[in-house]
């Protein structure tokens, strides 16, 4: 028996959907096929803005843009004969390209042989044959840039570290993924630990280090467990230790744990933390490439970068360099979250547009609301409004828009999100995580946050926006490390694109989205109220009273502006001002 799944359109095309459903069931009966196919309405098939969508099982054909007139054809061809109707079929173009996540979800991460069977450690074998100079040459051809955020060319980092004289050198894998809203590093560490280890070994070979360190957040216990297990397997098989694979390359790896400090993602702070100290950043220069861990030359690479390295060595730098666009080659993993329909990790070639990522892969905005902006780069990044969604993704192109690539958080904001609230959230995060060593970050951040709080409380003054800009500028110029230098970015970019919204808060004392609770008030329109009492039941402050006959009303003195009555009212009787 076949099943025909029809996607519920959530209120749109209601009549068309009903007509189609009725036509399908009645005609199936007329054809005497009522028992041959079951018609089911399902919540979601995953295709949107294509009219009525149906899926036929077990074949898995997906038809879009359906109308009543298509019913006979579907019954005859597909239900009776199991044929696909090409003119109705929806062919999903796969816009993702999985290089970093090539093994995630496909192999058993705890099974060493699974990784080896999927070209595992072949990149290392090639690297050993090629020798350090040619490995760096290959990396140069690939054009790979650091995936941790700043986008420094990986080959250059390795080349500089290699050129610094010294017997002892270190290479560190930065797995201190602290950006709220990004989790690609965790996925790779947990899903394909050996690829990161292989990348670290190749990096070690290239710079002439015989000691590698994994610095991983303690909050990721499974990642730690799997990396440790993979390291043990490597030792047992002679892939780590002395004379690896019969060569004269020696390499050891140990794990060090982070302990919940965002600033430790900054490379000099990370080094302090590995040394067992407070995670304070140090002035640069000297850069870690010259004087890093225990004062020795040190290369620090991000998890995603290292996971890409074996792929580049195995398939060649040139092949990798052809993916993506000039200046930003290869692929990038994004954590697509927020108000998007399909949230999750996506890996796309550079040069794809933001619109394609959010709408074609992500399926658009949740609940069909209007999109307001996309936030990239986490607390160091900025927002990008809709008019720029057709920009191809690359390090420079995002920077031009006032945001950054960052570690790959991509958060969709809809019309219900308040920009003042968003920048307050990100800045609050940075103030919380500021280590306090340098004054611009410690004091500047706190002052900016105080101004933002004032604005969202309705006590903003005319001067505030100018002041925000001034302090931001000082922080960018004078802070010691990346945290302080980039902390004002979310504020600056929201100010740049959504100044009117700030002004509405400061001058009119209004928050259109209702997020700034002190600026909104709720009331109930008597004529629309049906007296159902739902609002009264959810009110945590017991501010809503009434009855079915008298209707309900809000006592503004008791009201805490939580907005729960607004959300729960089905009749539009609760209004926000």
Q: Give residues with Cβ within 8 angstroms of 77, minimum separation 6.
A: 83, 84, 85
**Binding another protein by CB under 8 A: which of 186, 282, 296, 551?**
186
Backbone angles phi, psi at 314, to 5 degrees: -75, -40
Q: Percent helix, strand, coil in the chain (nearest 5)? A: 45, 15, 40
Find the binding residues for another protein in span 397-436 (CB under 8 A): 409, 411, 413, 417, 425-426, 429, 435
Q: Which is nearer to another protein, 181 or 208 (CB)?
A: 181
Stretch in the footprint of another protein (CB under 8 A) among 64-72, 113-121, 253-261, 551-559: 253-261
Contact assessment for residue 441 and residue 484, using Cβ atoms and an 8 Å cutoff: yes
Find the binding residues for another protein in span 45-74 (CB under 8 A): none
Distance of closest approach, residue 540 Cβ to another protein, in angstroms: 7
Contact assessment for residue 272 and residue 265, using Cβ atoms and an 8 Å cutoff: no
Backbone angles phi, psi at 142, to 5 degrees: -70, -25
**Binding another protein by CB under 8 A: which of 28, 53, 64, 257?**
257
CA distance 285 to 59: 62
**Residue with tokens 């079951």, as numbered in its chain:** 38
Residue 466: how many other CB atoms lie within 10 Å:
9
Contact assessment for residue 114 and residue 292, using Cβ atoms and an 8 Å cutoff: no
Find the binding residues for another protein in span 267-326 (CB under 8 A): 273-279, 294
Distance of closest approach, residue 375 Cβ to another protein, in angstroms: 7
Stretch in the footprint of another protein (CB under 8 A) among 140-148, 257-265, 463-471, 519-527: 257-265
Q: Which is nearer to another protein, 318 or 432 (CB)?
A: 432
Check binding of 262 to another protein (CB under 8 A): yes
b (16+ CB within 10 A) / e for 514-530? bbbbebbebebeeeebe
Distance of closest approach, residue 139 Cβ to another protein, in angstroms: 29
Distance of closest approach, residue 378 Cβ to another protein, in angstroms: 7
Taking phi over 0 as left and psi of -120 to 50 as alpha, with beta for the rest, 164 belongs to beta
- Whether omega before 67 lies within 30 degrees of 0, making that bond cis, reads no
Element (H, E) at 298: strand 298-302
417 closest CA partner among 519, 512, 521, 503: 512
Distance of closest approach, residue 56 Cβ to another protein, in angstroms: 28
Distance of closest approach, residue 570 Cβ to another protein, in angstroms: 16
Q: Which is nearer to another protein, 238 or 344 (CB)?
A: 344
Check binding of 160 to another protein (CB under 8 A): no
Provide the mask over 361-400, with x wherever binding to another protein is found by CB under 8 A and - wherever it is not: --------------x--x----------------------
Distance of closest approach, residue 72 Cβ to another protein, in angstroms: 41
Distance of closest approach, residue 276 Cβ to another protein, in angstroms: 4
Distance of closest approach, residue 272 Cβ to another protein, in angstroms: 9
**Binding another protein by CB under 8 A: which of 86, 167, 540, 542?**
540
**Residue with tokens 């409004």, as numbered in its chain:** 385
Check binding of 182 to another protein (CB under 8 A): yes
Q: Which is nearer to another protein, 267 or 417 (CB)?
A: 417
Check binding of 43 to another protein (CB under 8 A): no
Distances (CA, A) of 321 to 136, 311, 346, 414, 428: 14, 12, 20, 35, 39
Q: Which is nearer to another protein, 258 or 330 (CB)?
A: 258
Q: Give residues with Cβ within 8 angstroms of 46, minimum separation 6.
A: 342, 363
Q: Which is nearer to another protein, 317 or 408 (CB)?
A: 408
Check binding of 180 to another protein (CB under 8 A): yes
Backbone angles phi, psi at 160, to 5 degrees: -65, -45
Backbone angles phi, psi at 204, to 5 degrees: -60, -45
Backbone angles phi, psi at 165, to 5 degrees: -70, 150
Check binding of 258 to another protein (CB under 8 A): yes
**Binding another protein by CB under 8 A: which of 20, 70, 159, 177?**
177
Find the binding residues for another protein in span 325-354 (CB under 8 A): 335, 337-339, 343-345
Backbone angles phi, psi at 554, to 5 degrees: -105, 130
Element (H, E) at 321: helix 317-321
Provide the mask over 541-560, with x wherever binding to another protein is found by CB under 8 A and - wherever it is not: --------------------
Cα radius of gyration rounded to whole Å, the chain: 28
Strand partners, 176: none
**Binding another protein by CB under 8 A: which of 260, 318, 555, 558?**
260
With the C-alpha atoms ordered 487, 490, 495, 497, is the resulting torsion angle positive or negative? positive
Provide the mask over 193-222, with x wherever binding to another protein is found by CB under 8 A and - wherever it is not: -------------------------xxx--
CA distance 15 to 482: 56
**Binding another protein by CB under 8 A: which of 138, 179, 192, 304?**
179
Distance of closest approach, residue 311 Cβ to another protein, in angstroms: 23
Axis crossing angle, helix 184-191 with helix 303-315, rounded to the nearest 10: 60
> How many of the chain's residues bind another protein (CB under 8 A)?
47
Element (H, E) at 39: strand 37-42
Q: Which is nearer to another protein, 115 or 183 (CB)?
A: 183
Q: Which is nearer to another protein, 275 or 318 (CB)?
A: 275
Provide the mask over 129-148, with x wherever binding to another protein is found by CB under 8 A and - wherever it is not: --------------------
Q: For binding to another protein (CB under 8 A), which residues are involved? A: 177-183, 186, 218-220, 254, 256-262, 273-279, 294, 335, 337-339, 343-345, 375, 378, 409, 411, 413, 417, 425-426, 429, 435, 540, 562, 564
């Amino acid at each position: 028996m076949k099943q025909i799944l029809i996607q519920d359109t959530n209120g749109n095309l209601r009549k068309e959907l009903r007509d189609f459903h009725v036509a399908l069931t009645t005609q199936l009966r007329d054809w005497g096929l009522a028992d041959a196919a079951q018609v089911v309405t399902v919540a979601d098939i995953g295709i949107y803005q294509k009219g009525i969508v149906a899926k036929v099982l077990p074949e898995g054909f997906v038809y879009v843009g359906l109308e009543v007139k298509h019913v006979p054809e579907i019954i005859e061809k597909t239900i009776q004969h199991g044929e696909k109707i090409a003119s109705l079929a929806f062919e999903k173009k796969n816009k993702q390209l999985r290089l970093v996540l090539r093994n995630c979800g496909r192999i058993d991460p705890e099974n060493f042989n699974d990784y080896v069977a999927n070209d595992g450690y072949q990149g290392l074998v090639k690297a050993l044959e090629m020798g350090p100079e040619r490995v760096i040459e290959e990396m140069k051809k690939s054009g790979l840039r650091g995936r941790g955020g700043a986008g420094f060319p990986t080959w250059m980092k390795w080349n500089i570290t290699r050129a610094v004289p010294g017997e002892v050198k270190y290479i560190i894998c930065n797995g201190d993924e602290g950006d709220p809203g990004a989790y690609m590093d965790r996925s790779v560490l947990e899903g394909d630990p050996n690829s990161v280890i292989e990348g670290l070994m190749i990096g070690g070979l290239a710079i002439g280090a015989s000691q590698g360190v994994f610095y991983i957040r303690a909050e990721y216990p499974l990642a730690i467990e799997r990396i440790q297990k993979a390291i043990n397997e490597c030792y047992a098989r002679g892939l780590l230790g002395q004379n690896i694979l019969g060569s004269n390359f020696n390499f050891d790896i140990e794990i060090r744990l982070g302990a919940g400090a965002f600033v430790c993602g900054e490379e000099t702070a990370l080094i302090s933390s590995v040394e067992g100290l407070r995670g304070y950043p140090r002035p640069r220069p000297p850069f870690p490439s010259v004087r890093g861990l225990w004062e020795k030359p040190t290369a620090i690479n991000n998890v995603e970068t290292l996971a890409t390295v074996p792929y580049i060595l195995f398939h060649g730098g040139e092949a990798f360099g052809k993916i993506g666009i000039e200046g930003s080659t290869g692929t990038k993993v994004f954590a697509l979250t927020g108000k998007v329909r399909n949230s999750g990790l996506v890996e796309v070639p550079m040069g794809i547009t933001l619109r394609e990522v959010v709408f074609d892969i992500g399926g658009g905005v949740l609940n069909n609301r209007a999109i307001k902006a996309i936030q990239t780069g986490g607390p160091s990044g900025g927002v990008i409004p809709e008019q720029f969604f057709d920009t191809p993704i690359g390090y420079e192109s995002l920077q031009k828009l006032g945001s950054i690539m960052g570690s790959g958080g991509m958060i969709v904001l809809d019309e219900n999100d308040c920009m003042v609230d968003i920048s307050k959230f990100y800045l609050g995060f940075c103030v919380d995580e500021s280590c306090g060593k340098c004054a611009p970050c410690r004091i500047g951040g706190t002052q900016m946050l105080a101004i933002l709080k004032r604005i969202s409380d309705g006590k903003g003054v005319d001067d505030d926006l100018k002041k925000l800009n001034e302090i931001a500028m000082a922080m960018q110029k004078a802070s010691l490390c990346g945290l302080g230098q980039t902390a004002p970015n979310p504020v600056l970019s929201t100010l740049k694109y959504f100044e009117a919204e700030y002004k509405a808060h400061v001058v009119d004392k209004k928050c259109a989205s209702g997020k700034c609770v002190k600026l909104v008030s709720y009331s109930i329109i008597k004529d629309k109220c049906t007296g159902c009492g739902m609002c009264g039941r959810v009110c945590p402050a017991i501010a809503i009273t009434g009855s079915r006959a008298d209707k309900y009303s809000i006592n503004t003195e008791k009201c805490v502006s939580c907005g729960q009555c607004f959300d729960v009212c089905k009749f539009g009787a609760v209004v926000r001002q």
